[in-house]
Amino acid sequence: DFDIIFEISSILLITILVGSKNKYDKNWTEIRESLLDLFIKDIDHSLRLIGVSDIKIGKLVKKYVKKFYFRIPKIEKIIICKDLNLFIDYLKKFNIIDSTNDLSHIKYFFNKIMIMKKRSQLIKNKKLIYKDLFK
């Protein structure tokens, strides 16, 4: 489902952006900009793959970009507070999970994004942010 993939990708990207927020060197600034550009291009490409017509692509991409920017402060708060319950509430609010989901998977994912945040704060080699994280 495109919406679920969008939500999960948004969470991962925002985690990296939040983790690297205080890195002001030119290299990280360019990486953050490149990640956002790639994310927007991926939204466009994914919508085309599922058969959205060229006429509707621009409006839908704009809609999803707005959704993404709307979610940044919400996810940032969750990541900074390290609050699993806020995270679960967020996932329920945006229909990513419901009351039937196994929370052990959610806890696992939450722990992994906390590791990603820490890695994006500390690691200089950006390729290592995901290393051995989601096996």
| pLDDT confidence tier of residue 24, bands split at 50, 70 and 90 | low
Q: Residues 130, 121: contact at Cβ < 8 Å? A: no
Q: Residues 109, 10: contact at Cβ < 8 Å? A: no
Choose the weakest-confidence range: 6-10, 11-15, 25-29, 36-40. 25-29
Kindly state the DSSP code that residue 95 receives in the 8-state scheme: T
Q: Helix, strand, or coil here: 125?
A: coil
Tens-place pLDDT, residues 34-87: 889 999 999 999 999 999 888 899 999 999 999 999 999 999 999 999 999 999
Q: Between 66 and 102, name the one with better pLDDT.
A: 66
| Calpha distance 125→119 (Å, rounded) | 10
Tens-place pLDDT, residues 107-126: 999 999 999 888 888 766 66
Instruction: Give residue 26's pLDDT.
Output: 67
pTM: 0.88
